[in-house]
Amino acid sequence: MSKTGIDAIKEALKVYFIMGSPNCKNHPVQVLKEAIEGGITLFQFREKGIGALTDDKKVELAKELQQICREQQIPFIINDDIGLAIALNADGVHIGQDDEPIEEVRKRIGSDKIIGVSVHSYDEAMTALEGGADYFGIGPIFPTSTKEDAKPSNGTKLIEELRARGVTLPIVGIGGITAETAGSVIKAGADGVSVITAISHAHSVTEAAKALRKSVLEI
Ligand code: 3NM
Sequence ranges of the domains in the chain: 3-217
CB neighbour list of residue 112: distance below 8 Å, 6 or more residues apart: 2, 3
Map residue 98 onto helix, strand or coil: coil
Residue nearest (by alpha carbon) to ligand 1 atom 4: 147
Check: CB of residue 30 under 8 Å from CB of residue 23: no
Q: What is the largest CA-CA distance in the chain?
A: 45
Residue nearest to atom 16 of ligand 1 (CA): 175
Which ligand 1 atom is nearest residue 144's CA? 15
In angstroms, the CA 23 to CA 133 distance is 27
The pLDDT of residue 23: 98
The pLDDT tens digits of the residues spanning 22-73 come to 999 999 999 999 999 999 999 999 999 999 999 999 999 999 999 999 999 9
Q: Which residues line ligand 1 (CB under 6 A)?
A: 18, 118, 137, 139-140, 144, 146-147, 150, 174-177, 195-198
Task: Point out the catalytic residue in the list 3, 33, 113, 147.
Answer: 147
Closest residue CA from atom 9 of ligand 1: 196
Ligand 1 atom at minimal distance to the Cα of residue 139: 5
48 is catalytic: no
**Please, which residues have CB within 8 angstroms of residue 199's CB and are 6 or more apart in sequence?**
17, 19, 31, 35, 38, 40, 205, 208, 209, 212
Span 16-25, average pLDDT: 98
- What ligand 1 atom has the least distance to the C-alpha of 118? 7
Residue 14: partners with Cβ closer than 8 Å, 6 or more residues away: 41, 42, 191, 192, 193, 213, 216, 217
The b/e string for 19-37 (b: 16+ C-beta within 10 A; e otherwise) is bbbbbbeeebeebbbbbbe
- Measured distance CA(110)–CA(100) in Å, rounded: 15
Q: Which helix (H) or strand (E) holds 216?
A: helix 205-217
Looking at residue 109, its pLDDT comes to: 97
Q: CA-CA distance, 133 to 125, in Å (whole number)?
A: 9
Q: List the beta bridge partners of residue 115.
A: 93
CA distance readout (Å), 92 to 25, 111, 182: 26, 10, 24
pLDDT attached to residue 3 = 62
Mean pLDDT for 145-171 is 96
Q: Tell me which of 19, 45, 174 to substitute to probe ligand 1's pocket, judged by most ligand atoms within 8 Å of the beta carbon.
A: 174
41 CA from centroid of ligand 1 (Å):
17
ipTM of the complex: 0.99
Taking all residues of the chain, what is their mean pLDDT, rounded to a whole number?
97
Q: pLDDT (tens digit, 9 = 90+) per residue, 72-124? A: 999 999 999 999 999 999 999 999 999 999 999 999 999 999 999 999 999 99
- Ligand 1 atom closest to the Cα of residue 145 is 15
Task: Report the residue among 78, 144, 158 best suited for mutation to probe ligand 1: largest number of ligand atoms under 8 A from its CB.
Answer: 144
CATH number, domain 3-217: 3.20.20.70
